[in-house]
Chain A
Amino acid sequence: MSADTSTRPDSLDDGALSPGEPSPPDQPAPPGPDDHAAHPDDANVAKILIGLVGIVGILWGLGNLFLALAYHPEWFADSKILIGAVALVAGVGGAYFLFFFLNMFVEGLPGGLSRGLMPYVFILPSFSLIALMLLYPTIQTINYSFANSDSTKYVGLKNYRYIFGNSEFRQALINNVLWLLIVPAVTVFVGLIVAVLADKLSTSGEKVSKSFVFLPMAISFVGASAIWSLVYAFDPASEDATGLLNAVWRAFGGGPQSWLQNYDFRLNSFLLMVILVWLQVGFAMILLSSAIKGVPEETVEAARIDGASEFQIFTKVVVPQIRGTIITVFVTTLILVLKVFDIVYVLTDGRDKTQVIANLFFTELFRNSQGGRASAIVVVLLLAVTPVLIYQVRNFRREELSR
């Protein structure tokens, strides 16, 4: 995108607006796209004033209204629905008029300043929110990780020494690595199989079968945990099996198993991973399927004429062409897995060697009230995502250049 805009020929704008003054061709591109009637060269004081008053008024009004919703629900008849409706209307309307007045204010400024400022004004509100809710907390959390449990005194590296000396933390690290090694790979693999096979079905068959695999995408982690807690349910040998897995297991002659407590070969962790794979395959399939449909038919046809088997066509022709999408799906799942929390929290809460980093963080922060240790754990999590992050940025830059 950006590369594209800076090299775009500017003949269109300038030619149309100022035919009398041809710009020298060797000059860097002038800010042509913004050079239109909305930016006269003189300041428009009325616009500036109305804009400013509007901005301040909207911010003040919105801030107070939203605080009133929280502090004085009785003003809204204590009705949750009314509060929700007011917030929706005020939020959307407020955002509209905020941008309206911001736009008016900037348009009132003299030409050059107006053009230069406009883009920043458009991104300012969203970046303020990102700064407040993601950047500031990140710095603050790093800061807290060197402080004591209620963040009142710095304690140096004590928190880090504690967590790395803690066997449960090491356990969680090992488990997270296991999750990372298994879940993204399996998700991509199954997603790929579904995408390829669905492509070979009739149109209606494809639609229906995809919907079945889609379905879990709409289900929450907690809902999925409820569903799978039934599958993994345990009953003593004296009773009938009510859990599906035990029923199958017993049918093959096994004894009743308490699956989620069985940590031989990390069985319980693997069973938790199954839940995440079950949830994620639909997403993988959507992206992979559309990528597969984008593979030019000629390349497949050519390989077929050369006598390649279907399997060879898939691995040698299709996969290389959808490599980018495969990586996207893999990385997206990877990021999700790093932060995996709900499933473990709800089903085992880290018992029986199923602990993961995000759940340990929750335990330290809210059950043990150890703010410092919890922050140190999040910093470790941040460090763990850093390689992914660097990869994402590099990948993004490469894609931008090729656009």
Chain B
Amino acid sequence: MDIDLITNILYAAIRTGTPLLLVALGEMICEKSGVLNLGQEGMMLLGAVAGFIAVYHTDSFMLGFVIAALSGVLASLIFAFVALNLNATQVATGLALTIFGTGLSAFIGSDYEGKTIEALPTIGFEILQNIPLIGKALFAQDAMVYFSWFMVIGCYIFFRAHRAGLAVRAAGENPDVGSNLGLPVMKIRYLAVMFGGAMAGLAGGYLSIAYTPLWTENMTAGKGWIALALVVFASWRIERVMLGAYLFGFASIMHLFAQGLGISISSNLLAILPYAATLIVLVVLSRNSEKLKLFEPVALGKPWHKTR
């Protein structure tokens, strides 16, 4: 086990964790406003395919990510209309979004299946990236990794120091009281769902533009679902979402680790690791239901509409 290997594993863990971080951050804000959107997987796939096609034709990474985010927002608006305006069960509506997004992305992307583009370049900081062990992981990443940190800090400040952050939480804890206090609960929830859609779209775009710069059907492979577990794991706290995303990133690249140590296990078995890790974390965390209830937004997943 040499230093180079550890350096590279840290670097890869952060890269692998970034799409999880993006989508989990969006879903967490969405859940803070009281809306449970299980459509993350579908929105990610739509973002991935739309972003990929945009970059494939224009070679503009900026445009690719903007389109990825926009397609996530569009998809989330369908969810928002059915779940918020029509008061359908949020769980089933989210499932519908995932099924729809999986189908639509495969349909749109069938002509692009297996095609590749040039990956998003990394931006290295001169001296800093040569710091042993952590230099490469922290200072030689691509723009989206830095963007994800910017979003983490932004969300942190938004919830800690901004009135609007309080309004989002009010909508998720007790929409009736929030509404009676004059908060536009519906608008807040819509915006939160759209933010979640944009982040999921970006996460998908990151996969198809930066992480593995190609498009294949179903390429998210359950990352949207893992992100949902991640939000529970993080007990709806931003700093823990970040930590959790990188831990899952690490679990996903364990095969590199195993190869480095000279252990040979079938790669198909190792592919189980992130899902198994998710299961174990879920079980460990949820054993104590009282504690979990303490952090969960009270009105999460409950249909609500203004009565007066």
Q: Do A and B bind each other?
A: no
Q: Which residues of B contact A (CB under 8 A)?
A: none
Seen from chain A, the residues whose Cβ lies within 8 Å of a Cβ on chain B are none
